[in-house]
Amino acid sequence: MASMLSCVIFPPPPSLIISVMSVVSLVAISGLGISEILGKHLQYSRFWNLNSEKSTRMQIKLSSRTGMLVFYVPAFLSGVASFVLYPNHDLRLFLVKATLTIHFFKRTIEVLFVHKYSTSGVVLDSAILISSSYFSATSSMIHGQYLTQGFPEPQVDLKYPGVLLFLLGISGNLYHHLLLASLRTKSDKEYKIPKGGLFGLVICPHYLFEVLGFIGILFISQTLYPLCFTVGTIVYLMGRSYATRRWYLSKFEDFPKDVKALIPYGLGKNFKYSKFSNFNVEKSTSKPNNTVCSRDGMLVVYIPAFLSAVAFPGLFPNVGLRFLLVKSALTIHFFKRILEVLFVHKYSGGMAVDSVIIITLGYFTTTSITIYALSLTQGFPEPPVDLKYPGVVLFLVGIVGNFYHHHLLSSLRTKNDNGYKVPKGGLFGLVTCPHYFFEILTFLGISFISQTLYTFASTISTICYLMGRSYATRRWYLTKFDDFPKDVKAIIPYVF
């Protein structure tokens, strides 16, 4: 474990303060998360007076806006001051200072102009504790980064993926804060069940994206203190989101039981697009999530990944045939998908916004990290078995077979026909989802061309997802069509 960490983390700086603060932040912040689960909450937002009911001690209450400004302004000022106190010796130090300053500036702007507050407030004790934590974390991260000047760089450079994660995190966090704010009118102070975005999957998607933002800063920094702070923050936000879900369940009888706390998961819970666009809603007591038309949703899903495949490689020199083939394969794959969305597919129904967000993030990050991981192998010896040419063949077979079966699906409908039919032709006589089968061949081809651990891991996860989706699709056809042939498998002919 220590040798693995040394590949991605700078050696600890010769500073007793930073070393002690790293341990303190990990233990203290994680402890707060465990306290949240046990019912002892930091007293702000909906939990501002929950603990005070059990205490006879006099507590000073601040308004929510004032309390939140106390949370974030000192950390923001620390970030601003760091540009004066610590000269810019390198890009990594500048990025750490910039991301922390942007993060707390955004939070301050949200407090002033986005959030709409209930009659709850912030207890002064909690405001001081949270403010001290954010201020000391910001100052310690920047100071610790400054102390690494002159140290050898970690073997694996994570700062560019860190920038991407930070941008995803801060954008997703802002988006879900806007959704929360839209639940209330100016004079409305009551809590409501949030909807839209990822709120149909988890009760605290803003926390989920905040976690991504801090992981991004950790990746940029690659030092010990951000690692400890981020792990502690993850534990705290998991505890806080768990307590929040429990609170909603106690306050709202119609709160959907299948909505999780922070991390979306669950068997039988389908991504809401295509024939499953409202499938989970039928099992829920909540109203349907926000939806977009299928064509717009699918364009949102594929365009960021396509742009990543086109633009992201520009950060790295084109230093070999393998790198060129991976870039080209990813670009061709997502360009084909965009063309199919525009000119081939005929749509019915819509697509839930939460599913759009998750799938978009999945494709975008997988594409970016696939290219980045391959760039890190430059200078490494080639694998003993070269699979890139079999990979090209697999990719071409996969992309052609996928397109052919998409064309067959499209031919089932006339221009004004939005109904589903039992598909026929090609391999549809053997499996329900031959287009998924060939998509698996496509990604296997890319993993064979790349031959990196990340690409093989992401391909395995894609195979698991598409097998699950095809199994659910076959089950759906069996329930909707009495004449659906029982011997047709889900995705693997004669097997599954």
Task: Check whether 287 has a pLDDT greater than 70.
Answer: no
Give the tens place of pLDDT for each residue, 479-493: 999 989 999 999 998
- Quick one: the chain helix, strand, coil %, rounded to 5? 65, 5, 35
* Greatest pairwise CA separation for the chain in angstroms: 75
Q: What separation, in Å, do the N-terminal and C-terminal C-alpha atoms of the chain show?
A: 39
Half-sphere exposure (Cβ direction) of 87: Cα atoms closer than 13 Å: 2
Q: What would the mean pLDDT of 98-107 be, rounded to a whole number?
A: 98
pTM of the model: 0.72
125 vs 52, residue with greater confidence: 125
Give the tens place of pLDDT for each residue, 185-243: 877 778 899 998 999 889 999 999 999 999 999 999 999 999 999 999 999 999 999 99
- Contact 119/178 with Cβ under 8 angstroms? no
pLDDT at 1: 41
Confidence band (pLDDT; 50, 70, 90) for 283?
A: very low
Cα–Cα distance, 490 to 474 (Å, whole number): 6
How far apart, in Å, are the Cα atoms of 247 and each of 39, 193, 239, 295, 346? 10, 11, 12, 37, 43
- Contact 176/199 with Cβ under 8 angstroms? yes
pLDDT at 155: 85
pLDDT at 273: 66
Cα–Cα distance, 217 to 239 (Å, whole number): 21
Give the tens place of pLDDT for each residue, 328-381: 999 999 999 999 999 999 887 788 888 898 899 999 999 999 998 888 888 888
Task: Check whether 107 has a pLDDT greater than 90.
Answer: yes
- pLDDT, the chain, mean: 88
Pick from 18, 21, 15, 45: nearest CA to 133: 21
How far apart, in Å, are the Cα atoms of 430 and each of 54, 386, 422? 64, 33, 13
User: Cα 110 from chain centroid?
Assistant: 21
398 vs 50, residue with greater confidence: 398
Question: Which has the minimum average pLDDT: 4-13, 93-102, 185-194, 286-295?
Answer: 286-295
Task: Check whether 136 has a pLDDT greater than 80.
Answer: yes
Q: Which residue do the tokens 């499209």 mark?
A: 410
Structure tokens at 362: 């999945």
